[in-house]
């Protein structure tokens, strides 16, 4: 069996989050929303109960995939071997344009399938507009982000 630290980390799929990854596999960024007609609040990470009205009914609302960089970090060693090979890479927090209270963690890349170090750290700016793209990592389709104006 291969050493797990030789691979990029992939999401842990659970019942609450499974629809997020199913939609991602179809190239859609969807966020869980309360299905109570008087509430409708979005929530992330996915969970069974609405924190606003305590409803257990939910739906998955399609997002435009547009957002802006809310924050970012350039991880420094020590890193897992698979990540050390790609350093310097970035991890960004994206604030969704459709839901400014929802922020997702991901990587800024030049194209969906580009390596994690494809964007030079000096090109990353807080507030820069980004767009979600999707790629497969070890059998799981994950969202990544590209600059709206490269």
Whichever of 18 and 53 has its CB closer to Zn ion, that residue is 53
Binding segment toward Zn ion, per CB under 5 A, in 21-29, 53-61, 62-70, 100-108: 53-61
Q: What distance in Å separates the CA atoms of residue 54 and residue 46, rounded to the nearest whole number? A: 14
CB of 102 to Zn ion, least distance (A): 15
What mask of x and - would describe binding to Zn ion in positions 25 to 44, judged by CB under 5 A? ---------x-x--x-----
Q: List the 58-62 sheet strands across, edge first.
A: 42-43, 30-34, 58-62
Q: Is residue 133 within 8 Å of 113, Cβ to Cβ?
A: no
Which distant-in-sequence residues (6+ apart) come within 8 Å of 90 by Cβ?
Answer: 72, 73, 74, 107, 108, 116, 119, 121, 124
CB of 57 to Zn ion, least distance (A): 8
CB of 14 to Zn ion, least distance (A): 21
Q: Which of residues 103-132 bind Zn ion (CB under 5 A)?
A: none
Which of 47, 52, 101, 125 contacts Zn ion by CB under 5 A?
52
User: Buried b vs exposed e over 47-72: b needs ≥16 C-beta within 10 Å?
Assistant: eeebeeeebeebebbebebebbbbeb
Counting residues that bind Zn ion (by CB under 5 A) gives 7
CB of 49 to Zn ion, least distance (A): 9
Q: What distance in Å separates the CA atoms of residue 51 and residue 43, rounded to the nearest whole number? A: 8
Which of 9, 18, 53, 84 contacts Zn ion by CB under 5 A?
53
Residues making contact with Zn ion (CB under 5 A): 34, 36, 39, 50, 52-53, 55
């Amino acid at each position: 069996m291969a050493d797990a630290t030789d691979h990029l980390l992939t999401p842990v799929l659970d019942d609450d989050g499974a629809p997020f990854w199913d939609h991602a596999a179809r190239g859609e960024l969807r966020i869980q929303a309360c299905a109570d007609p008087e509430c409708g609040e979005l929530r992330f990470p996915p969970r069974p109960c609405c924190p606003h009205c305590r409803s257990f009914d939910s739906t998955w609302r399609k997002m435009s995939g547009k957002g802006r960089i809310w924050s970012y970090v350039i991880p420094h060693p020590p890193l897992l071997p698979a990540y050390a090979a790609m350093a310097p890479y970035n991890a960004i927090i994206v604030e969704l344009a459709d839901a400014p209270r929802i922020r997702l963690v991901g990587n800024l890349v030049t194209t969906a399938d580009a390596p994690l170090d494809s964007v030079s750290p000096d090109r990353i700016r807080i507030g820069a507009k980004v767009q979600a793209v999707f790629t497969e990592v070890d059998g799981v389709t994950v969202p990544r982000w590209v600059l709206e104006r490269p």
